[in-house]
Structure 1
Amino acid sequence: MSILNKDQSDYWNGEVGQRWAVYHEALDTAFAPFTEALFARAALGAGARVLDIGCGAGETALIAARQVGSGGHVTAADLSEPLLAVGRERAAREAPGTAPIAWLRADAQDHAFGSGFDHALSRFGVMFFEDSTAAFANIRRSLAASGRLSFLCWRSMAENAWVTVPRDAVLPLLPEVEPPQPCAPGPFRFAAPDALLPILEAAGFRGIECEPVDRVMRVGETIEAAADFVATRGPVARLLREREPALQEAALKIIRQLFAERFGAGPVDLGAACWLVSARA
């Protein structure tokens, strides 16, 4: 297989991908309000062929398979083999009547997915391409003439309290933290629609709509679970990942204390904001 995005492939097939695979249930719970919005917009019909880009541990692929039914088909693509392995295991436990799912370790920038898909969708999986225009053009080529695209991507970091609250708390422990690069692969790459819309247009998409979606995200039922979530998954985890264990533990302690002051014993609910983007092939 061709992997153009080697940095992201290495990242998601190493310790990070293995950790996300182990804790996939907490991620699905946290993202549930956004997942609901994504599928409400996608409105998948019975018998549809669906391409799930950045499917992760399979939650969105499984939902799509249930919605399109046995007459449909889902292709679930991701760079991370640890996450795909979880998706395959989950699919094996599905009740009869759902669509078959093909699980692919694939780089959406150049993988030949075939053609004729009715819908391509993604939950927070499109912000990490090395070449976004090439990836979206390749996705568009996979769609039927009447095909549609629906995906979620984060708005600015400043609008996402689930990131900024713990991040601001631990920054004093972390010298020389570089600010995120606006156009580099990463969770906030498409925070500004002005950066995203020309890419989709260049890839050949039409009728592009970009709707703000604001939800409360439950990052943990308890203080301990919430602190572990933000410190080991997402943007704060990236800051802490290569630090010495003593600093990681100090950061975790600060986050626990902050959450305890704000939320008592829990649960911990923080604001989250994304774009829900849709387009026609």
Structure 2
Amino acid sequence: MTTATMQEASEYVDFWNRVLVPKFIRFRHILAEGTSNHSDQVLPTLGLEEGDRVVDIGCGFGDTAIELARRVGWSGAVLGIDCCDAFLDFGRREAAAAGISNLTFVEADVLTHRFEPVHDACFSRFGTQFFENPVAGLRNMRAALKPGGTMTMIVWRALEDNPCMNLPKQVILRFLPAPEDDADTCGPGPFSMADQSVVRRQLEAAGFEAIAFERVDAPVVMGKSLDDAVDFQLAIGPAGEIYREAGTIAEQRHEDIVAALKRELAPFERPEGIVMSSGSWKVTARNPR
């Protein structure tokens, strides 16, 4: 497994590395388990064959890239791309521990990385929603594919289809103002690809064909306990953004916010933790032959 150094970082990439990486690492136990409940439903449907070459876009901690590497076998190859090398370090260690050698992790911005058109498939789990320029990012993903190669991405459906994030956001808004338009951000945001018609136009503009959408629903454990779930919501996601941007106001209302979140999340407590529902799109498209 080899690593390439990312050349130039956008303000969004800088925000990921400066602000979000430590939080994502802290709550990896929630993020990896929750998102895997979606990819576990999608990965078996990709139709991958022994010897295929696959690129995993925004591969994060590398768990999907590792699973893809297993699916294509030793004669295949997987390239995992992410803009945060701290995430990729987890994937490198876990792949090495598992004896997986057909997987390469590269730190790069998908919008500017120079892909070779040698891949049979391109996959992304909740990574494309943060493209600074969605059409440019999708077009560059298509550049990684052979003629006739397939693209599959998992993106969140609307906030209303995701109580796991919507409910905490509504609770926080009782106490704090919504972020200003010029707030620091990691990109367009987790729900930027929720609208089918918008995403279809983006994919068409990027040159894809045979575009299709399929609903995926999955339970997610939002914390091993109420305290864990509340800490997670105050750090990451729509509620976390509101809390972070409110600054001293959030600090002043902290105890009230925590108490309200605990009250609202308590009905979702199960033996395994705080279990809530979530919904995504499986989006598929093809590079023309």
TM-score normalised to the size of structure 2?
0.88
1:42 aligns with 46
Q: Are the counterparts in 2 of residues 47 and 72 from structure 1 also a CA contact under 8 Å? A: yes
In structure 2, the partner of 1:273 is 279
Gaps of 5+ in 1: none
Distance 1:264 1:139, change over 3 A: closer
In the other structure, the counterpart of 2:57 is 53
Q: Which has the higher mean CA deviation after the structures are superposed, 16-25 or 105-114?
A: 16-25
What per-residue deviation string (whole Å, max 9, x for no partner) do you get for residues 216-268 of structure 1? 22212322222223222222212112423444454333212322255377622
Measured in 1, the distance between the counterparts of 2:116 and 2:133 equals: 20
Report whether the alignment pairs 1:155 with 2:168.
no
Partner of 1:11: 15
Distance (whole Å) between structure 1 residues aligned to residue 200 and residue 49 of structure 2: 27
**Contact 2:172-2:243 at 8 Å conserved across structures:** no
Judged with a 3 Å threshold, the aligned counterparts in structure 2 of structure 1 residues 112 and 125 are, in CA distance, closer, same or farther, namely same
Asked if the contact 1:41–1:150 (Cα under 8 Å) also holds between the matched residues in 2, the reply is: no
Q: CA deviation at 1:278?
A: 0.6
Letter in 1 for 2:66: L
Whether 2:95 is the aligned partner of 1:91: answer yes
Once residues 118 and 272 of structure 2 are traced to their aligned partners in structure 1, the CA distance between those partners, rounded to angstroms, is 47
State the percentage of identical aligned residues.
30
Q: 2:96 & 2:271 partners in 1: Cα distance? A: 37
What secondary structure is seen at the aligned counterpart in 2 of 1:165?
helix
Structure 2 CA distance for aligned equivalents of residues 117 and 262 of structure 1: 42
Is 1:21–1:86's contact at 8 Å kept on the other side of the alignment?
Answer: no
Specify whether residues 190 and 176 from structure 1 end up closer, same or farther in structure 2 by C-alpha distance, changes over 3 A only.
closer
1:10-159 correspondence to structure 2 within 5 Å: 10-94=14-98, 96=99, 98-159=100-161
RMSD across aligned C-alpha pairs, in angstroms? Answer: 2.3
Match of 1:192 among 195, 198, 202: 195
User: Which digits, 9 at most, give the CA deviation of each residue in 1:66-119, with x for residues without a partner?
Assistant: 11121111111111122122222222211x3x4522111111112112121011
Name structure 2 gaps, 5 residues minimum.
1-5
Q: Retained in 1: the 8 A contact 2:116–2:144? A: yes
Question: 1:259 is matched with which residue?
Answer: 265
Relative distance call for 1:264 and 1:22 in structure 2 (3 A) is closer
SS, match of residue 86 in structure 1:
helix
Decide which of 168, 171, 180 is 2:170's aligned counterpart. 168
| Cα distance change on mapping 1:256 and 1:80 into 2, 3 Å | same
Structure 2 CA distance for aligned equivalents of residues 249 and 135 of structure 1: 41
- TM-aligned CA distance change 1:206 to 1:263, over 3 Å: same
Moved more, 225-234 or 166-175: 225-234
Does the 8 Å CA contact 1:159/1:273 hold for their aligned counterparts? yes
- TM (norm. structure 1) is 0.90
